[in-house]
């Protein structure tokens, strides 16, 4: 080796190559090394380097000796130990197994949702099973599986996958690919196996996957089997199996590789008026909805876990689902299972006990049906949409009843509609007037039991608005009397004061502060639960409809409940807030969560759903008392009191506010009809309230003389009496 040192850029480089050259010479022969040692050209620094090289050579030689000794010890002395280690050491896989879902009971322990055992054909995938083997098993199982399983969806890609799982078919399709199709057109590099397979799929012709029913069923089974993770188990079919089907699988256990007969659970819902609010769960085939998958996987769910999709099943998914069993499976290099370890021990889902007594719920439902039938008989129900009622404990928020019936005005068919009590929103009418007066207090537009003149309100450019009882006259009334008589003009004057424009005959309304005043009014309504989330413990409840047109006419109409819409649940929470001295509590359907264990079907108490206060209305205790006094006068006042029918036969004293909002609807012939929504918010007893009630009866007819039904009041009275007869007020 010759190196031109003069061409090197630095002394360091020249020195490095000089030493490298000398080392190479040393490695050729000992004689040359000796000559180099005696040569005059070597200086003292070079001799020191040679000594270091000798030490390095010695260290390398020693390490080689150690390595050879270690290999001898492993391959000769302890060969059998390491052969065994090689066989038993392999990969590990984590397997998740689902558990039984918790059940749901009413307040008295009556089961509303239970689990029913269902026979299944299961497939457990081993880590050595090939696509061809799964295809063969799928074909065999297709001859046994129930007919109902043929309804599964199968895509064209699924059909191609099943076709290509046959090695002969795959080989034939592979021949269809030209050499140029097997490489990347831009880079010339060979395509990956996945890229090639995608091209194989495209080469499969429609004629080749034009399966008959039996083959198509096998393809569907193959799809489910192929999607199963190693060591995981998938249900291929569920339903009652005949003795012949079970025998066929048992007799062909070896050829039906991975197939077994087992059991799973299916949800059984009781036939009651609460069924619609119980919700539903997904099937194992559906598994976790795509939009929720990431969240559930973080919680330890498996992809094919069954989860609640609505209402109680979804709202209490974490409690009902339970804990999955998680196992770690170890396999050797040959794919044989050598060990199984439980990482997480599964637990059954917890049970729920509701706040609703099914008998009381049914009683409220019957009250709705009875009074709705009566209003129809009286000629008010031709286009009525139904009737709804919610009963709630004002201090705890426990819901005692959530009832509803829907009327099909075309057919006259009556159906249970408990969900309508939380989802359907209607114009509330005069029941909002306690909220309007409270808004006046909050915004310094009223003081205490202030007296205003109930008088016709004439706004420039619009028709006059007046109360039903004054007939165009002027009558000084207080805030309490405004509630007792249900004065519209008292409310209009209150919101005009909030706007900063006290009423003057034929006045014009300036709109610069209109939007802000609308917000102030709605803010107070929201403190009572109107137009906002109630906090209900299940999803699906409506907030009602908040109008977007903030003009002067809608602002005035809003003051006496003729613009925004609310649900029966919101009315019940509104009444409960007044009964509870201004504290708004969260309404809840679940009383307690129970561990699924012990001899008692309900289990052992795990936790009680505690009462939670959302907010307190921003008015004084004295002013809350005025609202309560006004509601008392509605049912106990003089001849002009608007809610006196509630006390006709009532077992205890009831505080209430009625509302009759004017609406329009069309009959079956498209004719416009003058209708109303008849509502009530109430609580009982008047002293120490134990229940609060929201009632809505939408779209009842108004007769030409202006009369309408009192079904809303009779429903309220009957609910109070039912509670008294079943539990007694304490």
- Using a pLDDT cut of 70, give the percent of the chain over it: 87
Label residue 531 by pLDDT band (50, 70, 90). Answer: very high
Residue 96: name the closest of 221, 235, 229, 295 by CA.
Answer: 229
Lowest mean pLDDT among 261-265, 312-316, 497-501, 666-670: 666-670
Query: What local confidence, expressed as pLDDT, does residue 3 receive?
Result: 43
- Is 232:84 a contact under the CB 8 Å cutoff? no
The whole model's pTM is what?
Answer: 0.80
Query: What local confidence, expressed as pLDDT, does residue 7 receive?
Result: 43
CA 496, CA 555: separation in Å to the nearest integer? 9
CA 523, CA 518: separation in Å to the nearest integer? 8
Integer CA distances (angstroms), 249 to 140, 230, 242, 254, in order: 10, 22, 11, 9
CA 113, CA 452: separation in Å to the nearest integer? 55
State yes or no: cis peptide before 394, omega within 30 of 0. no
Task: Compute the Cα dihedral for 435, 440, 443, 447 and give only its sign.
Answer: negative
Residue 374: name the closest of 8, 38, 620, 710 by CA.
Answer: 710
- Average pLDDT for 267-281: 94
CA 11, CA 489: separation in Å to the nearest integer? 105
Read off the pLDDT of residues 603-650 as tens digits, 9 standing for 90 and up: 999 999 999 999 999 999 999 999 999 999 999 999 889 999 999 999
First CA to last CA across the chain, in angstroms? 111
Ordered structural domains, the chain, with CATH = 5-77 (no CATH), 119-266 (1.10.10.1230), 420-710 (3.40.710.10)
Residue 391's DSSP bridge partners are: 401, 693
Query: What local confidence, expressed as pLDDT, does residue 662 receive?
Result: 84
Read off the pLDDT of residues 275-312 as tens digits, 9 standing for 90 and up: 999 999 998 778 899 899 999 988 888 888 889 999 99
Label residue 237 by pLDDT band (50, 70, 90). Answer: confident
Residue 1: is its pLDDT beyond 60?
no
- Is 693:628 a contact under the CB 8 Å cutoff? no
CA 121, CA 139: separation in Å to the nearest integer? 14
Residue-averaged pLDDT of the chain: 87
Label residue 380 by pLDDT band (50, 70, 90). Answer: very high
Query: What local confidence, expressed as pLDDT, does residue 593 receive?
Result: 96
Which range has the top average pLDDT, 85-99, 463-477, 536-550, 593-607? Answer: 536-550
Print the SS3 string covering 387-433: EEEEEECCCCCEEEEEEEEEECCCCCCEEECCCHHHHCCECCHHHHH
- Average pLDDT for 246-263: 78
- Is 34:28 a contact under the CB 8 Å cutoff? no
Query: What local confidence, expressed as pLDDT, does residue 85 receive?
Result: 53
Higher confidence at residue 470 or residue 342? 470
> Is 143 a known active-site residue?
no
- Using a pLDDT cut of 90, give the percent of the chain over it: 58
Q: How many CA atoms lie within 13 A of 351 on its CB side?
A: 24
Lowest mean pLDDT among 5-14, 127-136, 201-210, 581-590: 5-14
Residue 170 token pair: 């795959």
Burial class of residue 654 (count of CB atoms within 10 Å of its CB; 0-12, 13-18, 19+): buried
Secondary structure (3-state) at 209: coil
Integer CA distances (angstroms), 142 to 217, 262, 705, in order: 6, 17, 71
Read off the pLDDT of residues 37-91 as tens digits, 9 standing for 90 and up: 444 444 455 666 777 777 777 778 778 777 777 766 766 766 666 555 544 455 6
Integer CA distances (angstroms), 322 to 44, 185, 297, 307, 400, in order: 81, 53, 14, 11, 27
- Is 594:606 a contact under the CB 8 Å cutoff? yes
Label residue 241 by pLDDT band (50, 70, 90). Answer: confident
Query: What local confidence, expressed as pLDDT, does residue 307 receive?
Result: 94
Structural Rg of the chain based on CA atoms: 41
């Amino acid at each position: 080796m010759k190196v031109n040192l003069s061409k090197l850029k630095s002394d360091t480089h020249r020195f490095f190559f000089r030493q490298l050259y000398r080392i190479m010479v040393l490695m050729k022969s000992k004689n040359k090394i000796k000559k180099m040692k005696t040569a005059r050209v070597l200086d003292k620094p070079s001799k020191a380097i040679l000594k270091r090289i000798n030490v390095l050579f010695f260290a390398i030689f020693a390490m080689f000796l150690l390595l050879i000794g270690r290999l001898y010890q492993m391959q000769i002395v302890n060969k059998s130990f390491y052969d065994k280690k090689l066989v038993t050491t392999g990969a590990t896989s984590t397997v998740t197994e689902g558990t039984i879902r918790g059940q749901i009971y009413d307040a008295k322990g009556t089961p509303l949702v239970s689990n029913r055992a269902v026979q299944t054909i299961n497939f457990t995938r081993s880590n050595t099973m090939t696509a061809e083997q799964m295809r063969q098993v799928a074909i065999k199982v297709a001859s046994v599986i129930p007919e109902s399983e043929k309804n599964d969806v199968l895509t064209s890609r699924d059909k191609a996958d099943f076709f290509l799982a046959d090695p002969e078919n795959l080989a034939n399709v592979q021949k269809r690919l030209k050499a140029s199709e097997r490489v990347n057109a831009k880079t010339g590099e060979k395509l990956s196996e996945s890229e090639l397979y995608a091209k194989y799929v495209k080469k499969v012709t429609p004629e080749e996957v034009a399966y008959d029913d039996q083959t198509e069923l096998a393809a569907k089974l193959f799809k489910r089997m192929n999607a199963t993770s190693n060591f995981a188990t998938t249900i291929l079919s569920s339903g009652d199996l005949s003795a012949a089907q079970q025998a066929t699988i048992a007799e062909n256990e070896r050829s039906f590789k991975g197939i077994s007969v087992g059991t799973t659970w299916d949800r059984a819902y009781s036939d009651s008026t609460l069924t619609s609010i119980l919700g539903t769960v997904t099937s194992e085939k559906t598994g976790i909805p795509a939009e929720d998958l990431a969240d559930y996987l973080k919680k330890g769910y498996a992809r094919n876990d069954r989860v609640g999709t609505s209402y109680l099943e979804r709202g209490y998914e974490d409690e009902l689902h339970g804990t999955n069993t998680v196992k770690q499976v170890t396999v050797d290099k040959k794919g044989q299972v050598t060990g199984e370890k439980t990482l997480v021990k599964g637990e059954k889902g917890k049970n729920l006990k509701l706040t609703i007594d099914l008998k009381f719920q049914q009683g409220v439902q019957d009250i709705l049906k009875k009074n709705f039938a009566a209003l129809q008989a009286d000629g008010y129900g031709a286009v009525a949409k139904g009737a709804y009622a919610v009963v709630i404990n004002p201090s705890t928020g426990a819901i005692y009843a959530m009832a509803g019936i829907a009327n099909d005005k075309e057919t006259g068919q009556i159906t249970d509609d408990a969900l309508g009590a939380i989802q359907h929103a209607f114009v509330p009418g005069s029941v909002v007037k306690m909220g309007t007066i409270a808004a006046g207090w909050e915004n310094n537009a009223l003081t205490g039991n202030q007296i205003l003149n109930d008088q016709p309100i004439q706004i420039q450019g619009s028709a006059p608005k007046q109360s039903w009882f004054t007939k165009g006259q002027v009558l000084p009334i207080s805030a309490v009397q405004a509630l007792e008589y249900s004065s519209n003009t008292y409310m209009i004057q209150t919101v005009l004061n909030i706007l900063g424009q006290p009423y003057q005959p034929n006045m014009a309304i300036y709109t610069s502060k209109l939007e802000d005043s609308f917000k102030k009014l709605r803010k107070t309504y929201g403190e009572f639960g109107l137009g906002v989330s109630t906090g209900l413990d299940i999803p699906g409840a409506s907030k009602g409809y908040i109008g977007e047109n903030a003009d002067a006419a809608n602002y005035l109409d809003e003051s006496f409940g003729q613009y925004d819409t609310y649900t029966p649940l919101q009315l019940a929470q509104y009444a409960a807030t007044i009964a509870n001295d201004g504290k708004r509590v969260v309404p809840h359907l679940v009383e307690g969560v129970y561990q699924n264990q012990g001899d008692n079907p309900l289990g052992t108490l795990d936790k009680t759903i505690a009462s939670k206060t959302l907010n307190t209305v921003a008015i004084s205790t004295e002013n809350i008392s005025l609202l309560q006094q006004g509601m008392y006068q509605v049912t106990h006042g003089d001849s002009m009191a608007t809610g006196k029918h509630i006390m006709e036969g009532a077992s205890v004293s009831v505080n209430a506010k009625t509302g009759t909002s004017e609406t329009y609807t069309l009959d079956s012939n498209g004719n416009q009809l003058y209708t109303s929504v008849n509502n009530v918010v109430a609580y009982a007893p008047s002293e120490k309230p134990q229940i609060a009630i929201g009632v809505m009866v939408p779209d009842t007819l108004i007769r030409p003389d202006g009369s309408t039904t009192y079904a809303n009041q009779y429903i309220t009275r009957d609910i109070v009496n039912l509670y008294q007869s079943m539990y007694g007020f304490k």
